[in-house]
Structure 1
Amino acid sequence: MVSGLGAQGSFVAMNNTVSQSVPHLHLHVVPRTKGDGLRGFFWPRTTYADDAERAAYGERIRSALG
């Protein structure tokens, strides 16, 4: 998140079973920057402008991992 998206850090959260219709484990890795609005586990929800923007973010993260 830091190198791929230019974030200052990241927030990592895991959830299993609670509030799930099908029990499973999942992990959130949320990019963080000062003043981003994260409050506890809740961060401001936004949407991508279109599929191309969403794909571009995915590619930035994949490139940083590769």
Structure 2
Amino acid sequence: MWKDEIVEEIHQIRETYAKSFNDDLNAIFEDLRKKQAESGREVVTLSRKPGLKTRWSGRYVGDEVKENSHS
């Protein structure tokens, strides 16, 4: 079976990183959060805003329904 050297290297890095935290997911998560905060980069949330729902018949924005029109 063919193996991609780059993918294998990434797997090895991931394994070494996990072992440095004794495979403790909570510790890994905290480390990643710390690195994220220290990076200075803007964090973007892609989740929808509360109260915004889409439906087959139209788009609900609060209590108002906006119909999709293709005319």
TM-score normalised by structure 2 residue count: 0.29
Instruction: Specify the structure having the higher radius of gyration (Cα).
Output: 2
More helix by share: 2
TM-score normalised by structure 1 residue count: 0.30
More strand by share: 1
